[in-house]
């Protein structure tokens, strides 16, 4: 399916109030698509998610339609290209306004994952990203995490966008692999998309893998080693800041409430191994 790209004129930026209901403040940018006429005879309205600051215009991909059963018009959801969101995330981000309507989210051209058992064996079918929190017992998907270590021993941490789940929390680079990818292929793609770092799959070293029954997820953890002058290019909508930290400072951040809790738990559970890989002073 060809991507649908639209230009949105923002008339209610982040932080602005609804013109008729001043107490309703917009946590996302909201506007209209000039020339696309909605059933009410006006320009098509759209939520823009994945952008952390107020903007006047935005060009992005339509990933979902919000249908209102009790209103004449639908709302579109526009995001930066290559920034995935699932149905639950969208529902959470538009709830501030959609709570007043009988609405539901229709996903368009949704990202698909291969289904696995706990041993990492494919089950022969695919699952949509929106089902991440409702997988059947014994069904898993695969996620990857990439620890980036510079030649000077500093380790990369990135800060999540305020419009993502776990907003403004720190983490390491990672995400879910898509259908048809191997874990290491997915790791190389996520690393390039989120940081701009290009690595061959042969250059990524697997540290360990584990599975989480509660989250229906198998995690593959990798190490990417880069030069000390490696530039970082953050992905719009995914991350908003980054820092390279010496191991002791990195560990302190990981063990704090500023870090994503699930990722923190895996790090602590494998801390001795992670220290042997990441701590230059431990070599």
All structural domains of the chain, each given as residue ranges with its CATH number in brackets, are 5-107 (3.90.80.10), 142-282 (3.90.79.10)
3-state secondary structure of 217: strand
Tell me the sheet residues that pair with 241: 159
Which pTM was predicted? 0.75
User: What is the Cα–Cα distance from 252 to 248, expressed in whole angstroms?
Assistant: 6
Q: Is the dihedral of CA 75, 105, 192, 244 positive or negative?
A: positive
In this structure, the chain runs to a length of 283
User: What is the Cα–Cα distance from 167 to 54, expressed in whole angstroms?
Assistant: 17
Tell me the sheet residues that pair with 10: 31
Query: If you ran DSSP here, which 8-state letter would residue 87 be given?
Result: H
Structure tokens at 252: 């302190």
Per-residue pLDDT of the chain (283 residues; tens, 9 = 90+): 445 899 999 999 999 999 999 999 999 999 999 999 998 899 999 999 999 899 999 999 999 999 999 998 899 999 998 777 888 889 999 999 999 999 999 988 778 999 999 999 999 999 988 788 889 999 999 999 999 999 999 999 999 988 778 889 999 999 999 999 999 999 999 999 999 999 999 999 999 999 999 999 999 999 999 999 999 999 887 889 999 999 999 999 999 999 999 999 999 999 999 999 998 765 4
Which residue, 145, 146, 149, 144, is CA-closest to 282?
Answer: 149
Structure tokens at 249: 């400072």
Are β-strands 173-176 and 112-116 bridged in parallel, bridged antiparallel, or unpaired?
unpaired
Q: What is the CB-side half-sphere exposure of residue 64 using CA atoms within 13 A? A: 28
User: What is the Cα–Cα distance from 11 to 102, expressed in whole angstroms?
Assistant: 24
3-state secondary structure of 30: strand
Q: Are 155 and 267 in contact (CB under 8 A)?
A: no
User: What is the Cα–Cα distance from 216 to 132, expressed in whole angstroms?
Assistant: 8
């Amino acid at each position: 399916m060809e991507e649908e790209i639209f230009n949105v004129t923002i008339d209610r930026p982040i932080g602005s109030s609804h013109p008729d209901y001043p107490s309703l403040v917009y946590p996302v940018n909201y506007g209209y698509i000039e020339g696309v006429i909605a059933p009410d005879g006006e320009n098509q309205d759209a939520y823009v998610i994945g952008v952390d600051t107020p903007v006047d215009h935005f060009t992005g991909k339509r990933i979902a339609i919000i249908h209102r059963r009790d209103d004449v018009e639908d709302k579109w959801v526009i995001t930066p290209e290559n920034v995935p969101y699932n149905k639950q995330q969208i529902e959470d981000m538009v709830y501030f306004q959609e709570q007043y309507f009988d609405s539901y989210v229709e996903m368009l051209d949704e990202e698909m994952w291969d289904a696995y058992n706990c041993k990492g064996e494919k089950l022969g079918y695919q699952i949509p990203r929106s089902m991440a929190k409702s997988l059947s017992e014994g069904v898993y998907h695969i996620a990857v995490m990439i620890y980036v270590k510079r030649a000077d021993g500093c380790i990369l941490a990135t800060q999540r966008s305020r419009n993502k789940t776990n907003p403004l929390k720190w983490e390491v680079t990672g995400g879910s692999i898509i259908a048809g990818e191997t874990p290491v292929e997915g790791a190389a793609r996520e690393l390039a998309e989120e940081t701009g770092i290009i690595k061959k799959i042969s250059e990524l070293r697997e540290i360990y893998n584990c599975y989480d029954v509660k989250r229906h997820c198998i995690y593959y953890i990798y190490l990417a080693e880069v030069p000390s002058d490696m530039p970082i290019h953050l992905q719009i909508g995914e991350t908003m800041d980054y820092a390279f930290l010496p191991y002791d400072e990195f560990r302190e951040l990981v063990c704090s409430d500023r870090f994503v809790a699930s990722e923190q738990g895996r790090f602590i559970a494998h801390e001795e191994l992670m220290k042997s890989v990441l701590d230059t002073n431990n070599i």
